[in-house]
Amino acid sequence: MAKEYPKLLAADENNKIYDIPEFIATGMKGGEYFRLSEKDLIKLHPDSELFVLPDRKPVGYDPDQEKFIQISGNPFASKKGSLHAVAAFFAPGHTTTYSASYKQNKRTRVLPLFSYAAVALYKGEFYASGIRIDNEKRQELTGMPLAGVRNNVKKFRKIFPKNRLVRHLERCALQYGCPAAKNFFLKRYEAPLPTSPACNAKCIGCISHQPEKGCCVTQPRIIFVPTAEEIAEVALFHLKEVKDPVVSFGQGCEGEPLLVGDVLIDAVKLIRAKTGKGIINLNTNASRPDIIKKLFDAGLNSVRVSINSMQEKFYSAYYLPRGYTLKDVLSSVRQAKKKGGFVSLNYLVMPGFTDSLKEKRALGRFLSKNDIDMIQWRNLNYDPLAYFKKLRIKISRREMLGVKELINSVKREYPHLMHGYFNPSRRRMRRA
C-alpha cells in the first residue's frame, strides 16, 4: 500500500493511542462498517477532543484480506492486553459524517452524552470524518480566554449586583465551560438567557435531565425562573455592548422555555421597548404554537426548532413528548413564518439515520411545504448504537446516502436555505 491512507487508531488500557498501520481506518453507521478514504476526512480542529471508548473493540479494514477485522489483542503490549476504539468529539461548527466504528458486547454500558466521530491518523496527523458546516469562530477556545472570563465575572458582579441569572451564568461559564455563557462575559456574539426548570418532553439524549439510571447530565438545569426584569437587564446589556449581537432563550442548562412563555413575552416586550438592535432568538422544541405567535408579536426575531426526525414515530421515540405532537411543532414553524420570523431547524444529525432515504424524503416534504430559512446540522450527542436500538431503527446499508451527500443535495434542491451551526446575527441573515 504505497499511497498514503488513513490508518486505524486504537488505545491501550492506559488510554495511550496508537496507529495500527496494517489496517485502514473505518467508520460506522447503524452497526454497518465503512472503509474510510481521504475524501471522507478533514484535519481534526484543535478544539476537538479524542475519546477512548471503554469495552469497545476497534474495527479496521484489512486490504489484503479485503474485509473488516475486529482488533482484540494489543500487538504493542509485551503481556496480554486489549485495545479500545477511539473517537473524536468535534469542535462546534462541524458535522459528523461517520460514527466511530467498534464491536461491543451485550454488557457494554451506554456511552455518555457526546457525539462520536470516526477518527484516523493520516499524513501523520489526526483526521476525522466530518465537514466544517459553519466557519464562524463564535465558540473557538482561542477566542474565549478563561482569564478574560474570570476578570469580567468579577466586574459584572458590580454591574449586576442582584441579578440571579448572571449568578447562574457565572457557574455555566466557570464550572461547565459553556461557550455561550463565556461569550456573555466576554461581550461577544451570542448571550444565553436560560429560564425554564421544566420541560414537556423527555428526550432520551437530554443533556440537562436524565433518569436515575441514565447517563450523567452534562449541564444541570436552572432551578428558578428569572423575572422578566432580570432577563431584560442581561439582554439589554449584551445588545448594547456587542456590535452584531444575538441573545437566545433555550439553552442546554434548562428545560423548555415555552413552559414559562408569559415571562419570556414580558421580557421581550421590555427589551424591544428599549431597543430594536440585534436578534432575540428562541431555541425550542416548538411544542406551543400559541406562545410562539405571541412571542413574535412581542418582538422575537428568530426561532430554532430542535428536531431529530421528520418521521413522527422516530420523533416521538426520541422526544417522548408529553401533551404535544410533531404536528404542533410543524404548526409552530408555520406560525413563525406567518409572523415574518427567521426560522432555523436544529437538525440533530445521526450518521446512518439522518442520511437514510426515508428520512431524506420526509425532510424534503417538510422543506417543500415550509419556507424555512436555515438548517443547523448539529451532531446528536448520543451513543450511536444505543440510538438505533432504542428507536428500533432498521436501515440497510444501501439506504444510507451519506451525510455529506445529503447536505449537498439539500443545498442543490433548496438553494435559498442557509446552512450552518450557529444562530445567525442580523448581519449574517442579511448577507445570506
Q: In the bound complex, what is the minimum distance in angstroms from residue 307's beta carbon to ligand SF4?
A: 10
- Nearest to 191, CA basis, from 156, 151, 218: 156
- Nearest to 346, CA basis, from 285, 297, 394: 285
Pairing of strands 125-128, 56-62: unpaired
Strand locations in 297-416, DSSP E? Answer: 302-307, 342-349, 374-379
Helix axes 164-174, 146-159, angle to 10 degrees: 170
How far apart are the C-alpha atoms of 209 and 197, rounded to whole Å? 10
| Under rule CB under 6 A, residue 199 binds ligand SF4 | yes
| Under rule CB under 6 A, residue 321 binds ligand SF4 | no
- Nearest to 99, CA basis, from 311, 388, 318: 388
In angstroms, the Cα distances linking 150 to 145, 175, 183, 285, 354 are: 9, 11, 12, 32, 40
- Nearest to 9, CA basis, from 80, 68, 88: 88
Determine contact, residues 285/201, Cβ cutoff 8 Å: yes
| Under rule CB under 6 A, residue 349 binds ligand SF4 | no
| Under rule CB under 6 A, residue 206 binds ligand SF4 | yes
Decide whether 113 or 153 has the Cβ nearer to ligand SF4.
113
Q: Which of 8, 52, 83, 203 binds ligand SF4 (CB under 6 A)?
A: 203
Q: In the bound complex, what is the minimum distance in angstroms from residue 202's beta carbon to ligand SF4?
A: 6
Q: Which of 168, 209, 238, 404 binds ligand SF4 (CB under 6 A)?
A: 209
Q: In the bound complex, what is the minimum distance in angstroms from residue 375's beta carbon to ligand SF4?
A: 18
Determine contact, residues 303/344, Cβ cutoff 8 Å: yes
Number of chain residues interacting with ligand SF4 (CB under 6 A): 10
Q: In the bound complex, what is the minimum distance in angstroms from residue 381's beta carbon to ligand SF4?
A: 10
Determine contact, residues 17/86, Cβ cutoff 8 Å: yes
Choices 173-181, 205-213, 323-331, 334-342; region in contact with ligand SF4 by CB under 6 A: 205-213
Decide whether 93 or 255 has the Cβ nearer to ligand SF4.
255
Q: In the bound complex, what is the minimum distance in angstroms from residue 250's beta carbon to ligand SF4?
A: 8
Q: Which amino acid is at 185?
A: F
Site string for ligand SF4, 76-115 (x = CB under 6 A): ----------------------------------------
Site string for ligand SF4, 254-273 (x = CB under 6 A): -xx-----------------
The residue assigned the cell 473493540 is 57
Q: Which of 132, 187, 202, 390 binds ligand SF4 (CB under 6 A)?
A: 202
Decide whether 88 or 222 has the Cβ nearer to ligand SF4.
222
Q: Which amino acid is at 371?
A: D
Decide whether 180 or 201 has the Cβ nearer to ligand SF4.
201
3-state secondary structure 67-103: EEEECCECCCCCCCCECEEEEEECCCCEEECCEECEE
| Under rule CB under 6 A, residue 378 binds ligand SF4 | no
Which residues of this chain interact with ligand SF4, rule CB under 6 A? 199, 201-203, 206, 208-209, 255-256, 285
